Amino acid sequence: MTAPGDILRRLLEERPALIPAGDSVRAAFELLADVLGNGRRVLVCGNGGSAADSEHIAGELAKPCALPRPLPAAAVGALREAGDDGYLAEGLRGGLPVLSLAGQPALLTAIANDQAGDLVFAQQVVAYGQPGDLLWALSTSGNSASVVHALRTARALGLRTLGFAGPGGGLMAGLCDVLVAAPGSSTPSVQESHLPIYHALCLAVEAELFPCLPPGPRSLSAAPSASSPRRRSPAAS
């Protein structure tokens, strides 16, 4: 299994244009690993192409990305007691609580219609967010009203905040615990920088939180006893 540090190092080696953002990428990894390793939830939001990115991020973390993530032994035992013949225990995998706020059209349109279009993410932060959770917000300009409102709401409610923006960070810069200001001179070029960064972060977080297990069915009994990934202390690196 590739170590998280090696994953992030390879990202910068293969894409030297991202080197100026290297420290913030490493800080984003530490933030994500801390939040998810301590059992908290990550909410992801963005508009347009960044909405697609938020869905993509959730898809990489709520299910296996590159590692097998077998269920912990306690979950396997509980499934057996519930009547599972082995199908669920073999087919299901460890997941991380990562939710895209861009993925419920009925809810999004209801908020836009009944409240305001720029409140579609902030209202969901109120509904889903808890102190200690993380809002991961993407906006190439850093100035999207719906994203800025969501970040401000998240901070008010005790959530931690991670932002992906373009150069300078826009209005997001003052609202994020960690801001990754990716290079690019246009919306498409900034989005093209965001994608390899969040891919690397997803791989690194998975490698950090799901330890390498021996192959084969017996790896299920070797999994951590916690309900999903192993826990990290806030000070862990």
Q: pLDDT value at position 231? A: 47
Which pLDDT does position 2 carry in this prediction?
87
User: Which segments in the chain show pLDDT lower than 50?
Assistant: 213-237
pTM of the complete model = 0.88
* Contact residues for 64 (Cβ-Cβ < 8 A; gap 6+): 93, 94, 206
Q: pLDDT digits over 49-92, tens only?
A: 999 999 999 999 999 999 999 999 999 999 999 999 999 999 99
The pLDDT value recorded for residue 212 is 56
On average, the pLDDT of the chain sits at 90
Give the start-to-end residue ranges of the domains of the chain. 4-62+97-210
Question: CA-based diameter of the chain, in Å?
Answer: 56
Distant-in-sequence, close-in-space partners of 193: CB < 8 Å, separation ≥ 6: 17, 18, 21, 182, 183, 184
Q: Which residue has the tokens 């993509």?
A: 56
Q: Are strands 134-138 and 98-100 parallel, antiparallel or unpaired?
A: unpaired
CATH assignment of 4-62+97-210, among 3.30.460.80, 3.40.190.10, 3.40.50.10490, 1.10.10.10? 3.40.50.10490
Q: In 15-86, where does DSSP find H-type helix?
A: 22-37, 49-61, 73-81
